[in-house]
């Protein structure tokens, strides 16, 4: 008996089975192919690879950043208390490997240090921008490499920024507005009202709407939970209406009835962190970790990274269309850039040559002038010396004449003296 084929050959469908839609034929499969298992393959691969998530916490010192992160992951991530006396804002980066069931999570938490502690807060947001950009740049550089190794590459791009707002009950501080305005195009911002247990229920509602109005009137874009997936659309859109989340953090275990819960114990009662009537902590955790972590990562890649990449490549001179609005290829741009660079080098070389010639000419003129000056000086000195020689010659001549005169006078005086002596002797002899 002939062996039965493992898979039935697909039969050619009747014309009625072919639905035409944008020239794509939709066929009903008549046998089992196996591609219904694609999703499982993806799940298995993801579990094997593990997940990575990078959170940036921006907020004043002591506002509750470390406590909230510990509470979110129900782990003591062992962070020391920060000082209020830093002269500049800094960032503390810590990476942890966490595991829940068989899912591994490489969690990177970046927290601001010294934020809001300086008198002059004008540039407090700069280190935050620099950090976000540096991670986007690192990814871009990896992408531009010839030999890319995305499998081992640790993607450090910030997936979400939890912005901690002080529970003042009044309004946002100018530092909050300035920072959020400057980072909103680079990262997904989720605003949080920190230490929400310090604010009453009525004040909290007013404070929330005040914050949202201020964000809108200052044109600040915060992350919106996506509503395009029908499985999460309803919950996400209701959560969008609850932003900013009012959160409370605590790792303390408090007894409520017969149960131990995480909360903060006050003289007047217990605030239960995971009780949705007490604060929005559970909503934040669900939105951040259960429902939208993948979307946050996707937004980081498709929106923020794309925007950064586009600007950087444009700054480098790359473009998709030429001056005549015609598409241009990477090769054409590269060739044009190369030619431009070559021309620029030529121009610079020519300019340098001209400058060199000019300098040589200037130097020659100065040297010639100096030579002429020296020649004039020499001529002058020569003249002065000749005059001096002439003067000395004249003086010598006069002296020689004087000497001759002197000797003449001396000779005549000697003759005279001899005559006088002779006459005196004659006179003496005569008297004798
Ligand atoms: N009332 C209240 N206190 C909190 C809350 N979260 C943290 N704290 C307290 O605030 C202090 C500073 O918290 P910490 O997490 O170290 O702040 P960080 O400097 O922003 O990391 C600690 O004493 C915490 O116990 C909160 O939600 N409510
Ligand atoms: Mg801390």
* CA 81 / ligand 1 centre spacing (Å): 10
Q: Which of 65, 94, 115, 249 to mutate to test the pocket of ligand 1 (most atoms within 8 A of CB)?
A: 249
CB 116 within 8 A of CB 168: no
Q: Is the pLDDT of residue 85 over 50?
A: yes
Give the pLDDT confidence score for residue 20 in this predicted structure: 52
Determine if residue 108 is left, alpha or beta; phi over 0 gives left, psi from -120 to 50 gives alpha, anything else beta.
Answer: beta
Exposed/middle/buried for 96, CB within 10 Å: 0-12, 13-18, 19+? Answer: middle
Q: Which helix (H) or strand (E) holds 381?
A: helix 330-431
**Cβ–ligand 1 contact at 197 (below 6 Å):** yes
Residue 64 CB less than 6 A away from ligand 1: yes
Q: Does residue 157's CB lie within 6 angstroms of at least one atom of ligand 1? A: no
CA of 131 to the centre of ligand 2 (A): 18
Whether residue 198 has its Cβ less than 6 Å from ligand 1: yes
User: Tens digits of per-residue pLDDT, 349-370?
Assistant: 999 999 999 999 999 999 999 9
Average the pLDDT over each of 172-181, 225-234, 331-340, 384-393 and give the range with the smallest value. 331-340
Cis peptide before 343 (omega within 30 of 0): no
What does the pLDDT look like over 160-172, one tens digit per residue?
999 999 999 999 9
- The answer to whether residue 10 scores a pLDDT higher than 80 is no
- The number of the ligand nearest the C-alpha atom of 162 reads 1
pTM (two decimals): 0.76
- The whole-chain average pLDDT of the chain stands at 90
User: Are 111 and 57 in contact, with CB atoms under 8 Å apart?
Assistant: yes
Q: Is the minimum distance from the CB of 112 to ligand 1 under 6 angstroms?
A: no
Q: Is the CB of 218 under 6 A from ligand 1?
A: no
Residue range 130-144: mean pLDDT, rounded? 95
CA 81 to ligand 2 centroid distance, Å: 5
pLDDT at 87: 80
User: Could you write out the DSSP letters of every residue in 311-355?
Assistant: HHHHHTT--SB-TTS-B--HHHHHHHHHHHHHHHHHHHHHHHHHH
How sure is the predictor about 22, in pLDDT bands with cuts at 50, 70 and 90?
low
């Amino acid at each position: 008996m002939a062996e039965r084929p493992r898979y039935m050959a697909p039969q050619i469908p009747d014309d009625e089975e072919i639905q035409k839609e944008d020239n794509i034929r939709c066929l009903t499969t008549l046998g089992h192919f196996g591609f219904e298992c694609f999703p499982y393959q993806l799940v298995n691969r993801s579990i094997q690879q593990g997940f990575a998530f990078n959170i940036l916490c921006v907020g004043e010192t002591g506002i509750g950043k470390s406590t909230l992160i510990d509470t979110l992951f129900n782990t003591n991530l062992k962070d020391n208390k920060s000082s209020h006396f830093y002269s500049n804002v800094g960032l503390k980066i810590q990476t942890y490997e966490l595991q829940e069931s068989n899912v591994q999570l490489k969690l990177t938490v970046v927290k601001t240090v010294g934020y809001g502690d300086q008198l002059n807060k004008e540039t407090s947001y700069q280190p935050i921008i620099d950090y976000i950009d540096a991670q986007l740049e690192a990814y871009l550089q990896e992408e531009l490499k010839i030999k890319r190794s995305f499998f081992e590459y640790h993607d450090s791009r910030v997936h979400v920024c939890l912005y901690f707002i002080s529970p003042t009950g009044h309004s946002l501080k100018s530092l909050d507005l300035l920072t959020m305005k400057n980072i909103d195009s680079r990262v997904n911002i989720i605003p949080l009202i920190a230490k929400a247990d310090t604010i009453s229920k009525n004040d909290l509602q007013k404070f929330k709407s005040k914050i949202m109005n201020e964000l809108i009137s200052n044109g600040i874009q915060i992350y919106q939970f996506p509503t395009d997936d029908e499985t999460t659309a309803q919950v996400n859109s209701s959560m969008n209406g609850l932003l900013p989340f009012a959160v409370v953090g605590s790792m303390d275990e408090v007894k409520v009835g017969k149960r131990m819960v995480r909360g903060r114990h006050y003289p007047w009662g217990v605030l239960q962190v995971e009780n949705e009537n007490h604060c929005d902590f559970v909503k934040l955790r669900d939105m951040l970790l259960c429902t939208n972590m993948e979307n946050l990562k996707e937004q980081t890649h498709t929106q923020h990274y794309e925007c950064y990449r586009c600007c950087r490549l444009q700054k480098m001179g790359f473009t998709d269309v030429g001056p005549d609005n015609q598409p241009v290829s990477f090769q054409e741009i590269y060739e044009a850039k190369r030619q431009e660079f070559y021309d620029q080098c030529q121009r610079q070389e020519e300019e340098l040559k001209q400058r060199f010639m000019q300098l040589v000419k200037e130097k020659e003129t100065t040297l010639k002038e100096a030579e002429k000056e020296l020649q004039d000086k020499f001529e002058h000195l020569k003249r002065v010396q000749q005059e001096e020689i002439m003067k000395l010659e004249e003086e010598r001549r006069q002296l020689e004449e004087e000497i001759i005169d002197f000797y003449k006078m001396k000779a005549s005086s000697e003759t005279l003296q001899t005559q006088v002596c002779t006459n005196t002797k004659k006179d003496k002899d005569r008297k004798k």
